[in-house]
Amino acid sequence: MPADFLPPDLPPGSVSAEAGSNAPPFLSITELSQLLKRTVESNFDFVRVRAEISRPTRAASGHLYFTLKDEKNTLDAVCWKTVAGSLGVQPEEGLEVVVTGKLTIYGGRSKYQIVVQTMEMAGEGAMLRQLEERRRRLAAEGLFDAGRKQPLPVMPAVIGVVTSPTGAVIRDILHRLSDRFGVRVLLWGTLVQGQEAAGQVARAIRGFDAMPEDGPLPRPDLLIVARGGGSLEDLWAFNEEEVVRAVAGCSLPVISAIGHETDTTLIDFAADMRAPTPTAAAEMAVPVRAELVARLGETETRLYRGVSRRIEMAGQSVRLAERGLLDPAQMVERRAQAVDLAAAAIDSGIDRRLSNAALRLANSAGRLRPPERRLAEVGAALADIGGRMGQIIDHKISLRAAALEQAGRLLDANSFERVLDRGFALVAGADGKPLKRSAEAATGVDVSIRFADATRAARLDPDGPAPAPPPKPKRAARAKPSADGQDSLF
């Protein structure tokens, strides 16, 4: 082929056939690859493709590699590290996107690919499908289980808020908290929209969770993650996996308050409580002061009534127990009567035994005519019997006298006068009746106070403190009979 028929962009020296030969010219593989690359890049320097992402991979260098596909064909794609950080959407398996870039040829493998410059979701439907797929995957890991959720503190002292420091959300939260119950608020300002928002929100949640109990700033008792309303794209930062895992792993109770009531994000499932609005989150966090005061007053009233009822029931039990107890004076009188009956029985028994002995002696004397020695022995025996009987009588009388003396001492020890000797006083009204409870004496009434040595008059002070309720008296144990048949006073 004559040289003037060669393609205008064929490199010089490409014709190696001898002059006048009919052999066609040849190209090296590198030369052909360069020709194709210049052709492709010059004709497809800007393309916009809608496709589904497959096999996304991030290399150690930071470059992103993935495949774009549709129902029939595939296209390799690469996104350099300098562009990957600014992508509107990070590539995920099965995500339908619209990418822009330029086509090029990688000569090392003789493959053409697209160098991605921008990436965005292919419509809201694709975003919803990605959101649902991510929700199912995180739910399968147990991040949304009800057993992981913590109860909110009833009265938090410090509340941490993660939101934008310049938006209306933080002003609404602070206003509502001041209306209901004043607490200390720690604000961790973050972006709430854009590429960097998810990372900042996740770091704020982990930062609050890592605060020590004794640090320079108090550790929050509760966290509120809040943002105003917006579109699905505006709220997408709160659907990112990094933020969801930070909320699920936080040891502090978290209230999610993202968007309006109809907006739903993935952190709503991971949080311990979801609020329809940021203002509602503040209402959930703290109670209303007036309602709290009313609840305390109601509790105090129920407590007072319960204590009063218990005291009244205890008083009734004491009064019922008093009916079953014997008066000490009656116990002494009964024991004294028993002693008298025992002494009379002893006297009667002695007389009877002496009479029987005398009768037997008379009968013996009538039948026998003993000598003088026998009479002396009988007399000695009678004297000995009389002596032993006297000892028995004296011993019985001593025992009864000792029991009577002991009963008298117990009666004296249990006398209310001994109680006065120990420092107590007896308060009586004008009619002389003892006053057992403060409710029996009106304010300003004249009373008499009996001490151990004398009785003084007094008037109850109307300005004095309210008397404390009397202690519950202990129930006396029933006395057990002693070994000698007497009942104990204790």
What does the mean pLDDT of the chain come to? 81
- Predicted confidence (pLDDT) at residue 6 exceeds the cutoff of 50: no
Q: In this structure, are 86 and 7 located in the same domain?
A: yes
The answer to whether position 149 is within a domain reads no
Query: What is the DSSP annotation of 120-159?
Result: EESSHHHHHHHHHHHHHHHHHTTTT-GGG--PPPSS-SEE
Residue 41 and residue 48: Cα distance in Å, rounded?
14
The answer to whether position 138 is within a domain reads no
Q: In this structure, are 113 and 162 located in the same domain?
A: no
Q: Kindly state the percentage of the chain with pLDDT values over 70.
A: 86
Q: In this structure, are 190 and 268 located in the same domain?
A: yes
Q: In this structure, are 404 and 442 located in the same domain?
A: no
Q: Render pLDDT for 70-117 as a digit per residue (tens, 0 to 9).
A: 888 889 999 999 888 888 778 888 788 888 999 988 867 778 899 999
Q: In this structure, are 380 and 442 located in the same domain?
A: no
The answer to whether position 276 is within a domain reads yes
Residues 291, 267: contact at Cβ < 8 Å?
no
Q: Can you tell me which residue has the tokens 């990605």? A: 130
* pTM, full prediction: 0.44
Q: In this structure, are 337 and 320 located in the same domain?
A: no
Expressed as residue numbers, the domain containing 334 is 328-411
Q: In this structure, are 20 and 119 located in the same domain?
A: yes
**Count of the separate structural domains present in the chain:** 5
The answer to whether position 335 is within a domain reads yes
The dihedral built from the CA positions of residue 168, 170, 173 and 178, taken in this order, carries a sign that is negative
CATH of the domain at 221: 3.40.50.261
Strands 273-274 and 254-258: parallel
Query: What is the DSSP annotation of 288-317?
Result: -HHHHHHHHHHHHHHHHHHHHHHHHHHHHH
How is residue 22 written in tokens?
């009919």
Q: In this structure, are 279 and 159 located in the same domain?
A: yes
Final residue belonging to a domain, choices 260, 287, 314: 287
Q: In this structure, are 162 and 283 located in the same domain?
A: yes
Q: In this structure, are 404 and 420 located in the same domain?
A: no
Question: Comparing 439 with 241, which gets the higher pLDDT?
Answer: 241
For residue 209, what pLDDT band results from cuts at 50, 70 and 90? very high
Q: Render pLDDT for 288-338 as a digit per residue (tens, 0 to 9).
A: 776 777 778 888 888 988 998 899 898 888 888 777 776 777 778 888 888
pLDDT at 22: 63
How is residue 80 written in tokens?
């350099």
For residue 178, what pLDDT band results from cuts at 50, 70 and 90? confident
CA 469 to chain centre: 33
The answer to whether position 136 is within a domain reads no
Q: In this structure, are 423 and 364 located in the same domain?
A: no
CATH of the domain at 43: 2.40.50.140
**Which amino acid, residue 460?**
L
The answer to whether position 140 is within a domain reads no
Residue 346 and residue 343: Cα distance in Å, rounded?
5
The answer to whether position 271 is within a domain reads yes
Residue 40 and residue 101: Cα distance in Å, rounded?
13
pLDDT at 206: 94
Question: Comparing 479 with 246, which gets the higher pLDDT?
Answer: 246
For residue 8, what pLDDT band results from cuts at 50, 70 and 90? very low
The answer to whether position 41 is within a domain reads yes
Edge-to-edge strand ranges of the sheet holding 254-258:
184-189, 158-163, 222-227, 254-258, 273-274
Q: In this structure, are 255 and 377 located in the same domain?
A: no
Max Cα–Cα distance, the chain, nearest Å: 198
